[in-house]
């Protein structure tokens, strides 16, 4: 029996759990990091029924695009807090020098960030979809697309944030780096809803979004680690 291997596995698991717990505590200690993206999401979507035509058919036609574009911008807004406190207190440098696998630690950090910033956006979406008069049959494709797409957007945003973590004002640069890479997620996610409204199956588009998520989970932590080493050094 390989006791040393078992101890190493237990040590890695405990370290990853501690990383997730720390990430959740950091976000919970700054409620603005959770509330601000949610408020932006709600207010931005609410402006369309108030500022445009109050016609239900017109609103339902733009609902998918409005929700996805606004969700993308809300995710980008929430990314400002990722790695920032770790960079300021020096724990990010310790993480890069740690013998623990950096790949999994970064993946867990992004997961923790998504649980408190991205998942609430998804849970709030049915209310906003109702406000935009989206037909009931399109709710599940919309939610499924956001469940697959928002973690992908978080991972892509984490790459941009890792590149700009050392800059005091990185908002515009982060948007320039991240938004072009997010376009496929936006296109396929909103396409799932439009396909459903046209009476066609959306499973193919959902499979593409799932493939994009798998690809980003596989590759993004490597890119994040390389970007953090560049920024810290």
Q: How is the chain split into domains, by residue range?
A: 3-232
Percent of the chain at pLDDT > 90 equals 33
pLDDT score recorded for residue 155 = 93
pTM value is: 0.87
Nearest CA to 71 among 129, 131, 135?
129
Given CA atoms 51, 55, 56, 57 in this order, what sign does their dihedral have? negative
pLDDT score recorded for residue 168 = 67
The pLDDT tens digits of the residues spanning 14-63 come to 777 887 888 788 778 878 778 888 999 999 998 887 765 667 777 888 88
Q: Stretch 117-140: mean pLDDT, rounded?
A: 90
The two three-digit tokens of residue 53, written as one number: 């035509």
The pLDDT tens digits of the residues spanning 64-122 come to 889 999 999 998 888 877 877 777 777 777 878 777 788 888 898 899 889 888 899 99
Residues with Cβ within 8 Å of residue 189, at least 6 apart in sequence: 64, 68, 145, 146, 148, 149, 209
């Amino acid at each position: 029996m390989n006791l040393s291997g078992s101890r190493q596995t237990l040590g890695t698991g405990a370290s990853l759990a501690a990383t997730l717990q720390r990430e959740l505590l950091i976000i919970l200690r700054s409620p603005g990091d959770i509330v601000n993206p949610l408020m932006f999401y709600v207010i931005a979507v609410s402006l369309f029924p108030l500022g445009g035509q109050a016609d239900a058919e017109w609103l339902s036609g733009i609902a998918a695009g409005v929700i996805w574009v606004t969700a993308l911008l809300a995710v980008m807004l929430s990314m400002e807090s990722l790695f920032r406190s770790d960079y300021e207190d020096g724990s990010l440098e310790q993480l890069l020098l740690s013998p623990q696998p950096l790949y999994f630690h970064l993946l867990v950090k992004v997961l923790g960030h998504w649980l408190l910033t991205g998942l609430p956006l998804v849970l709030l979406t049915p209310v906003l979809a109702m406000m935009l008069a989206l037909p009931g049959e399109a709710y599940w494709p919309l939610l499924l697309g956001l469940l697959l797409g928002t973690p992908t957007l978080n991972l892509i945003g984490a790459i941009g944030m890792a590149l700009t973590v050392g800059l005091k004002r990185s908002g515009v640069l982060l948007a320039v780096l991240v938004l072009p890479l997010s376009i496929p997620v936006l296109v396929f996610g909103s396409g799932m809803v439009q396909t459903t409204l046209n009476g066609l199956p959306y499973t193919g588009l959902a499979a593409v979004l799932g493939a994009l998520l798998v690809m980003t989970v596989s590759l993004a932590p490597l890119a994040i680690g390389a970007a953090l080493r560049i920024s810290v050094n």
